[in-house]
Amino acid sequence: MITLLEHDGVRTLLAPATGPMRAGLVFPGGQVSVTGPEDEIARFLSGHQLVTPTSATLHLRRYGVPLEVTRENTVLWIAGDRVPPGLTLPLPADRRRTSPPVTGMLPPADAPGGYSFAGSLGTVAWQTVVTHSAPAAVLADMLAVMLGRSFPVATSYLPRSDGTAIITVIAAGSHRSTGSDAVLGEFIDVLAQLRVGRLDPADLPLALSHPDRPSASQPDRLPMLAAEMLAGLPPLSADQFQAVTPAAVAAVGMASMRHGLLLTPGDRDASWAGFAPAPLPLPLPPAPLPAGPPRVAPALFTLYIVLTIALTGLLALLFIDGDSHTTFQRALCALAIALTVRGAIRAFHRFRHA
Amino acid sequence: MQPADVSFAAAAAFPEVAAAVQALQIWDWPSVRAELDAAPPGMRAFVVHELAEHPEARQLAGYAWQQQPSDTAAAAVLAAHLIHTGWQIRTGAPAERVSPEQFTGFHEHLAAAEQVLIDAAARNPYDSAVGVQRLLTARGLRLGPGEVRRRYARLARIDAHNVTGQLQMLQSLCPKWSGTWPEVHAFARDRTLAAPPGAPNALLVAVGHLEHFAELGGGDTARAYLRSDAVRRELIDAADRSVWHGSFGREPGWVLALNAFAMVFLQLGDETAATGLLAAAAPFATRFPWSCLGDPAGVLRAYRRSLAGAAR
């Protein structure tokens, strides 16, 4: 039995499960999940940096707008008895948004391999847009099987409200054990297999056995259900997955290439492999000014101005009709007036910039 | 045997190469392909590598590949020719003596070849000829040492003892391509011991040390390096395992093995050994390693003359 709750304003899918608790968050640019004791899950999801630099970079390059994770555009899922105590999701509020248009930023590439651009790190990743379907969801897992033989990869399949889905494959820790040059080479080889439609049919059962299929138990299905809920789409059925053939997956793969976006390590490009350089994102609106010193309360400021004027007036009075005053006393008064006026001007500037 | 008899053409020493070259020259792609498809993986890769220099390769293999992208023999021959042409533009000169225009032409040809090869490797991951040519593009395009190793590992899964591929890998490990001498010699030793006794793969040990010898200038210092106990021992062991072994045959690499070890023993001062090896190879020869000492035909003729004189 799956229950829909709300936690910290975030829609939450809960299904009782045996074994250690599993939980995750799905948001427009990706997903995170974690397994373990309740307190560990609470700590991980509460403090986790949801948007990794890689998913933020890919999103910006594809849509031209920064990726934002908000309360309304996130779904929490928990395979366990309850929301773990101590789990807080202090996400900013927003309205529920429709997904940005897919072709807005990246038209299908002329190059058969799609687009590529160099990132600032050693990470290799690939992302594409497909029509949301069971074969497309299987393709994502097929990529995980193919690339996962050489190095660990994180794959995500995220349906979107416009009926498309985003497939993202990120090589985890690619710059450590295997050189990032070899990881890039392997990505390019696997993508070429996709482009020519040569997927190994023996990999299909492996991809189909991914735990979040409709035929799986309810807790196992939660990540995909959460993603479908986020997109506002009806869940894909077990029958739809059963009907997936290698040819159908290959067809999705071939169609996906020209929408592909390959992120190469900072010191490498992929022009030698026939990838088109990804167009640069449009200039962003200027970022808000960094937070300055705390604002001076307007009331306090008014009081300061009034007192300054009063004091200046008093000193001026003494200075003007004090025949009996010595030159030293007059100079002292002039200095006092100057300092007061200077203080007022400074306070005014500080207030204006705060 | 006249000392003047020097034949560098692989077609002369290998009937498989001769048949493929002949078919290529009469514009008969089906026969070229039949020859390549009938060859075991080691010979297939070797023949394709030898077809690269023939100008017919570009149009004939290019057309065959366009007609049938799944014909990875055509892809490999086309790519090999593009790589060969690219390298002719670049020349073998040190990078600082290659002009920017030469580098542009070189890279354009290698990238074009690489894209043909990526496609071919995706369509047929078991083509040894494609695997070998991808080692050349990875080196020329400087795709990185990790990528070269990945490609070699992929080739080794198809054909564990592919001499043509191992020679390319050895080049990539040389310091002139950002490798190190310990890597060169370790690879040579490792692949020699992995190959069956009598196989030509031990030529890697000779070639590795001759490359090292050439980098040391080929003079007295270089000779002292070759004559050091450890290196000399390793070279003799490698010869025992290949050119002096009873089951040494006529697999791809046999001419190079005899020529490389002949040069080695000349430098070690063992003229009897060198004479025997040169006689076993004659009239066939390879430009390397004689090219390290000047015009290879001239160098080889001079050595043969002096060895014949010494023997008299």
Per domain, the residue ranges of chain B are 13-175, 180-312
Question: Would A21 be classed as within a structural domain?
Answer: no
Which chain B residues touch A268 with a CB distance below 8 Å? Answer: 143-144
**Contact assessment for residue A7 and residue A89, using Cβ atoms and an 8 Å cutoff:** yes
Contacts across the A-B interface (CB distance below 8 Å): 61
Within 10 angstroms of residue B59's Cβ, the number of other Cβ atoms is 12
Q: Is A273 on the interface with B (CB under 8 A)?
A: yes
Chain B environment of A118 (Cβ under 8 Å): none
Cβ-nearest to B147 among A181, A195, A271: A181
**A151 with A252, same domain?**
yes
pLDDT for the residue A354: 46
Nearest CA in chain A to B145: A181
Measured between CB atoms, does A254 come within 8 Å of chain B? no
Omega before B289 cis (within 30°)? yes
Question: Which residues does B contribute to its contact with A (CB < 8 Å)?
Answer: 69, 107, 110-111, 114-115, 118-119, 121-123, 138, 141, 143-147, 149-151
CB proximity list for A119: less than 8 A, separation 6 or greater: A54, A57, A125, A263, A264, A265, A266
Whether the CB-CB separation of B124 and B154 falls below 8 Å is answered with no
Collapsing DSSP states into helix, strand and coil, what is residue B167? Answer: helix
Cβ under 8 Å to B: A residues 116-155: 150
Given this model, what pLDDT does residue A105 score?
Answer: 66
Domain CATH number, residue A175: 3.30.830
What is chain A's pLDDT, residue by residue, as a tens digit (354 residues)?
899 999 999 999 999 998 899 999 998 878 888 998 999 999 999 877 778 888 888 888 888 878 888 898 899 999 999 999 999 998 888 776 666 555 456 888 988 889 999 988 889 999 999 999 999 999 999 999 999 998 999 999 999 988 999 999 999 765 556 789 999 999 999 999 999 999 998 999 888 887 777 777 788 889 999 999 999 999 999 899 999 999 999 999 999 999 999 999 988 999 999 999 998 866 555 555 555 444 555 566 667 667 767 776 666 666 655 555 666 666 666 666 676 667 666 666 665 554
Label residue B100 exposed, middle or buried (CB < 10 Å: 0-12, 13-18, 19+): exposed
pLDDT, position B3: 45
- Asked if residue A321 and residue A229 are part of one domain, the reply reads no
Say whether both A137 and A178 belong to one domain.
Answer: yes
Residue A34 located in a structural domain: no
CB pair distance less than 8 Å for B119 and A193:
no
User: Distance, in angstroms, between A268 CA and closest chain B CA?
Assistant: 8
CB-based contact A189 B114, cutoff 8 Å: no
Residues of B in contact with A178 (CB under 8 A): 146, 150
How does DSSP classify residue A158? E
| pLDDT at residue number A349 | 65
The confidence score (pLDDT) of residue B2 equals 46
Which among B187, B220, B183 is positioned nearest to B203, based on CA atoms?
B187
Predicted pLDDT of residue B304: 85
Residues A178 and A324 in one domain: no
Residue matched to tokens 């030793």 = B189
SS3 A4: strand
How far apart are the C-alpha atoms of A218 and A235, rounded to whole Å? 13
Q: Measured between beta carbons, which residues in chain B are less than 8 angstroms from residue A189? A: 118, 121-122
Domains contained in chain A, number: 2
State the pLDDT at residue A173. Answer: 61
**How far is A136 from B262, CA to CA, in rounded Å?**
60
| Whether A250 and A334 share a structural domain | no
Contact, A169 vs A147, CB < 8 A? yes
Judged by DSSP in three states, A14 sits in strand
Q: Which residues does chain B have with pLDDT short of 70?
A: 1-4, 311-312
Asked if A151 and A220 sit in the same domain, the reply is yes
Of A210, A243, A277, the position where a domain reaches its end is A277
What tens digit of pLDDT does each residue of B254-278 get? 999 999 999 999 999 999 999 999 9
Q: Which of A232, A247, A277 is the last residue of a domain?
A: A277
Cα A11 from chain centroid? Answer: 18
In a domain, A2, yes or no: no
Whether A186 is covered by a domain: the verdict is: yes
Chain A residues lying within 8 Å of B147, measured CB to CB: 179, 181-182, 184-185
Contact yes or no for B143 and A198 at CB 8 A = no
Distances from the Cα of B154 to the Cα of A152, A336, B157, angstroms:
18, 85, 5
Alpha-carbon gap, residue A220 to A69, rounded angstroms: 24
> What's the rounded Cα separation, in Å, for the pair A69 and A30?
10
Residue A231 lies in a domain: yes
Instruction: Name every chain B residue with its beta carbon within 8 A of the beta carbon of A184.
Output: 147
Q: Does A271 touch chain B (CB under 8 A)?
A: yes
- Residues B3 and B304 sit within 8 Å (Cβ to Cβ): yes
Q: What are the CB-based long-range contacts (under 8 Å, 24+) for B189-196?
A: B189/B234, B191/B161, B191/B166, B192/B238, B192/B241, B192/B242, B194/B160, B194/B161, B195/B161, B196/B161, B196/B247
Phi and psi angles of residue B255, each rounded to the nearest 5 degrees, phi first? -65, -45
Alpha-helical runs (H) found in chain B: 10-13, 15-25, 29-38, 41-51, 56-67, 72-90, 100-123, 128-140, 145-158, 163-173, 181-194, 203-215, 220-227, 229-241, 254-267, 271-281, 287-290, 296-311
A180 touches chain B (CB under 8 A): yes
From chain A, the residues in CB contact with B122 under 8 A are: 189, 192-193, 195-196, 198
Residue ranges making up the domain that contains A329: 298-353
Would you call A181 and B123 a contact, using CB atoms and an 8 Å cutoff?
Answer: no
Question: Does A61 share its domain with A123?
Answer: yes
**Residues A173 and A243 placed together within one structural domain of the fold:** yes
Measure the CA–CA gap between B44 and B20, rounded to whole angstroms.
Answer: 10
Q: Give the residue on A whose Cα is nearest the Cα of B119.
A: A192
B13-175 maps to CATH 1.10.3470: no
The tokens for A351 are 């207030």
Question: Do both A268 and A302 map to the same domain?
Answer: no
Do the Cβ atoms of A188 and B69 come within 8 Å?
Answer: no
Give one DSSP letter per residue of B103-159, joined into a string: HHHHHHHHHHHHHHHHHHHHH-TT-HHHHHHHHHHHHHTT--HHHHHHHHHHHHHH-
Contacting residues for B34 by C-beta, under 8 A, at least 6 apart: none
Kindly provide the b/e burial profile for residues A52-82, where b requires at least 16 CB atoms within 10 angstroms of the residue's own CB: bebbbbbbbbbbbeebbbbbbbbbbbbbbee
Q: Which of A24, A105, A96, A147 is nearest to A284 (CA)?
A: A105
Show residues of chain A in contact with B144, CB under 8 Å: 179-182, 185, 268
Helix (H) or strand (E) holding A26: strand A21-27
d(CA A77, CA A17): 12
Q: For residue B236, which amino acid is it?
A: I
- For residues A230 and A313, membership in a common domain is answered with no
Whole-number pLDDT of residue A55 = 86
Q: Beta partners for A65?
A: none
Residues constituting chain B: 312
**For helices B72-90 and B128-140, angle between their N-to-C axes, nearest 10 degrees:** 30
A126, A254: one domain: yes
> Does residue A200 sit in the same domain as residue A249?
yes
CA–chain centroid gap for A187, Å, is 23
Question: Rounded distance, CA B277 to CA B261, Å?
Answer: 7
- Distance in angstroms (rounded) separating the CA atoms of residues B206 and B297: 20
Q: Does A196 touch chain B (CB under 8 A)?
A: yes
The two beta strands, A75-79 and A10-15, are: parallel
